[in-house]
Structure 1
Amino acid sequence: MPLDLRIPAVSMVWSARNDRDPASVWLREQTASLIKTSETTA
């Protein structure tokens, strides 16, 4: 039996010096994409 689970709001915080770091940008994009996907399938 599937459960109707609510996904809590997710906030991301990072240091200003990592704002343009390619690895940090990639990680934030991946995280945002996963959250967006889970919201549309929920």
Structure 2
Amino acid sequence: MGRRADFSLALIAGGSSGIGLALARLLAGRGTSVILAARNAER
């Protein structure tokens, strides 16, 4: 798994908590624009 992917945009379902949120933070920290989709808009 030594490959590196360079993404400019990511759509993450379930991004309000758990693995989805952690992934969103990781990608955003690397300069990726992130769109989050979640069932609960308040979270």
- Shorter-chain TM-score above 0.5: no
* Higher helix content, 1 or 2: 1
For normalisation by structure 2, the TM-score amounts to 0.41
Bigger relative contact order (CA 8 A; separation at least 6): 1
* Higher strand content, 1 or 2: 2
For normalisation by structure 1, the TM-score amounts to 0.41
